[in-house]
Amino acid sequence: MPSGCVGKKLQIDSDIAQPAMSRRLETGPTNITSDRNISLLRDLPKREGRRPTTLRTALHLQSNDQGPLSYLERLLEEISSWSGVDFLPSLVAPIQSRAMWIEESLASLDSSAFIYGYEFAHVLIGSTATIHLCLPLVCAHWAIVRGWAEPHYLNYTGLISPGVVLVYTPRDEAEYEICRTLFSTSYRSAVRRVGSKKFE
């Protein structure tokens, strides 16, 4: 994410986000063109049903409509195999959260790609299962518009990157694949470039 994106905010009006700025991205599980990646996220299907209820107190938590925890456990197992990812304690989430960090030597120099430090995502397991991850602004925009996420309430304060979102937990296999795509997008934004290519 360009450094000029820091400080910009996403807004939801009647559950629909106002358009975020467009930019070229390199995301996804394979090396495909930036324009195709943007189209992939723009063409996300609309999430079925109402948005889950979320709590915005000391923490920003999903409070209902969680899917089976087995989807989150499978997702965490897969992410643990991604190059350069470490599971370390989060500095901003509850102790029972599973936080995903990029190894320092492989991390992007752009601090807006992270929640805090080199942490790009964390997952809270339990009765209030919740996902937080950091997305490039244009990707966050489409995730929100299609009903898969909402902005983290603290990004209105400037305390965290404006791309940090709460992603609703998957309820079935199709939603698992959408969730995996969003994690992959976050991951590829967080790893550094080697020459003109992202680290693989």
Q: Name the H helices within the chain.
A: 34-42, 69-79, 137-145, 173-190
CATH number at residue 81: 3.90.1150
- Tell me whether residue 91 is in a domain: yes
Is the residue at 168 inside a domain? yes
Q: Is residue 159 part of a domain?
A: yes
pLDDT tens, residue by residue, 46-71: 999 999 999 988 789 999 999 999 99
Domain count, the chain: 1
Within a domain: residue 46?
no
Distance of CA 27 to the CA centre of its chain: 12
Confirm whether 76 is domain-assigned. Answer: yes
Q: What is the largest CA-CA distance in the chain?
A: 44
Q: Which domain holds residue 172?
A: 51-193
Q: What is the pLDDT of residues 144-196, one digit of tens each?
A: 999 999 999 888 777 888 999 999 999 999 999 999 999 999 999 999 864 44
- Is 102 inside a domain boundary? yes
Tell me, yes or no, whether 200 lies in a domain. no
The pLDDT assigned to 153 comes to 86
Kindly state whether residue 4 falls inside one of the protein's structural domains. Answer: no
